[in-house]
Amino acid sequence: MSTYKVGILGFGWVAGAHLESFCKMDQFEPVAILSRRNLDPKEIKTSYGADVRIYNDYDELLQDDDIDVVDICTPHFLHKEQTIRASDAGKHVIVEKPIALSFEDTKRMLETVQKNNTITSVCFEVRFISSAKAIKSIIGQGLIGDVYYGEADYYHGIGPWYANQKWEVEKRFGGSSLLRAGCHALDMLLYLVEEEVEEVFSYGNTSTNPVYKPYDYPLNTVTLLKFKNGITGKVSSCTDCSQPYVFNLNIVGSEGSVKNDQFFSKKIEGLNGWTKLDVDLIDSGDVSDHPYVEQFSHFAECLGNGTEPLNSLQSAFETHRVIFAADKSVETGKPVSLKEFSV
């Protein structure tokens, strides 16, 4: 089994969870961190057990031939350029969502990694939670018949502490509620349905709570989706809510339905109501609870056999172009065709 050496870009909340995950795994060895701060390698060793070099210059990190994988955990607006430069330097890439803040930038990223045969892993880690795997399997086996409707809801009250990060409160740095947060819900719906979106229609608003006044974009959006094969769907992204974290999935088929950890099928004799699935739910927004180990294990397997991960940049590109269409619909108040966001 190969061990891949990783250089982590940024060292905030998310990067700490990535580093902790790598340190649990035999397939990866964290060897470097890029940060604007003068981090102490001894403190990293004490806290995480990892021996790392600290870089303050990205060019120097990319010139480190010891690094196989660049793991991008920096603010959203830096992801595009850092991904392109890592790919051009011959590194494979893990990148946090959102991958970029515009459709043109995501196209440039996709063109670059395809040109360089870079293997990529985008942090849509929700795909690796057991409830998502179970729902995917149930649909794949035809146990709920033909899917004709699906919905996913993301409710995560971000609170006042996010407001001190400019890449969260300003649209030019953060994007939108759907792009930086609710994208997990949209990605899950697209992943489970496996059909191409034809048109979207979105509305947005923001809570009157003064905590959210600094934000210059709607923090609550609802998006209706029309798929090419006739399936319809709905995705909510609410990051100004005053409530505990909630992530809902509901997939409706001609012969049954799946709702979070509940399942019903007319194809299974004896089921009179919902059956509870023994699975882990998507029930926490804390990065320490995210299934990064499962995501990175899949990535290591793909690195070993040269195949594309199920959460590759190509796959994430499809999710992001739907998001950009939805954001345009919020701005214009009109339906938006995905033809406007085609390659």
| Digit-coded pLDDT (tens) for 97-131 | 999 999 999 999 999 999 999 999 999 999 999 99
Cα angle 208, 323, 166; round to 5? 55
Residue pair 199/338 in contact (Cβ under 8 Å)? The answer is yes
**Predicted local distance difference test score (pLDDT) of residue 335:** 98
Q: Is the pLDDT of residue 175 over 90?
A: no
Q: Is the pLDDT of residue 49 over 60?
A: yes
Phi, psi of 264 (to 5 degrees): -140, 140
- Which percentage of the chain shows pLDDT scores above 90? 89
pLDDT grade for 288, boundaries at 50, 70 and 90: confident
The 10s digit of each residue's pLDDT in 77-100 is 999 999 999 999 999 999 999 999
Q: Is the pLDDT of residue 165 over 70?
A: no
**Predicted local distance difference test score (pLDDT) of residue 164:** 53
In terms of pLDDT, which residue wins out, 205 or 160?
205
Report the residue count for the chain: 343
Q: What is d(CA 85, CA 224) in angstroms, rounded to the nearest whole number? A: 36
Q: Is the pLDDT of residue 160 over 80?
A: no
Q: Mean pLDDT across the stretch 269-284? A: 94
Distances (CA, A) of 153 to 41, 74, 78, 233, 341: 40, 26, 27, 11, 24
Q: Domains in the chain and their CATH numbers? A: 4-125+295-309 (3.40.50.720), 128-286+317-341 (3.30.360.10)
pLDDT grade for 212, boundaries at 50, 70 and 90: confident
Residue 146 tokens read as: 């033909």
Q: Is the pLDDT of residue 185 over 80?
A: yes
pLDDT grade for 163, boundaries at 50, 70 and 90: low
**Predicted local distance difference test score (pLDDT) of residue 161:** 59
**Sequence-distant (≥ 6) Cβ neighbours of residue 186 within 8 angstroms:** 152, 178, 223, 235, 237, 319, 322, 323, 326
What average pLDDT does the structure give for the chain? 95
**Predicted local distance difference test score (pLDDT) of residue 166:** 66
Q: Mean pLDDT across the stretch 314-340? A: 98
Q: Is the pLDDT of residue 234 over 90?
A: yes
pLDDT grade for 174, boundaries at 50, 70 and 90: confident
Distances (CA, A) of 297 to 22, 291, 293, 308: 10, 10, 6, 13
**Sequence-distant (≥ 6) Cβ neighbours of residue 158 within 8 angstroms:** 168, 181, 219, 239, 240
**Is residue 135 packed enough to be buried (19+ CB in 10 Å), middle (13-18) or exposed (0-12)?**
buried
